[in-house]
Structures are given as C-alpha cells and as structure tokens.
Amino acid sequence: MLTRLDLSVFCPADLAICQGVFDQICARRAFARATKEAELAANAVLVLFQNGFNDESDLLVAAMRFIDRNGGWRKAGPSRENPAERRGAGFRQRAGIGHWQH
C-alpha cells in the first residue's frame, strides 16, 4: 500500500509532465511565475497528478477546469477603503468565494 510519503516522490519524467502543464497554464492565463496565481496553478497541477491525472493532456484539462471552477484566480482586488475586506481577500480567493454572504 502506498503511503502519503510515497505519493510525494516524483521521478524526472513526472516532473517534466507537471512542468509542461504548468508552463501551458501560465502561458494561456498570462500568469507571471512569481505570482500567487502561478503558485496556486502549480499546486493544482501537482495535486491532480498525485490523484491519477498522469497523462499530460488529461492533466492540463483537469487543471484548467479546476482553475475555472475556482474563479479563474483573476478577481478584482479588495477595495482600499475597507481594511477588513483586505484581510479576508486571501481566504476568499483560496476558497473560490467571490463575496461573503450576509
């Protein structure tokens, strides 16, 4: 039986697939590598790969769908007038929540 540790080991071929998919996502979405969006995309690619999306084209489709379902990660920033909104913006973005419901 595979443990969590076993699933976190990537061989060079695995990394090449994940890198290729990550590069395609960044190019299609215009994510600069040093952004939170790129970090989230990389995380999604690795998690999906670990969960069985080992074919490059399947992995790309799954990652793009994941990004789309989670708001595309390109939302308008929080307003500058409300510090409370700025504090919660990171959580809302990670959770894919556009606005809190009151």
Please give the structure tokens belonging to residue 71.
């708001």
pLDDT tens string 10-65: 899 999 999 999 999 999 999 998 899 999 999 999 999 999 999 999 999 999 99
Q: Give the pTM.
A: 0.63
Asked whether 50 and 8 are in contact (CB, 8 A), the reply is yes
Please give the structure tokens belonging to residue 8.
């976190």
Q: Does residue 5 lie in a domain region?
A: no
Q: Which domain holds residue 20?
A: 11-93
Domain count, the chain: 1
Q: Does residue 2 lie in a domain region?
A: no
Q: Does residue 42 lie in a domain region?
A: yes
Q: Does residue 59 lie in a domain region?
A: yes
Rounded-to-integer distance, Cα 76 and Cα 86, Å: 12
Q: Does residue 84 lie in a domain region?
A: yes
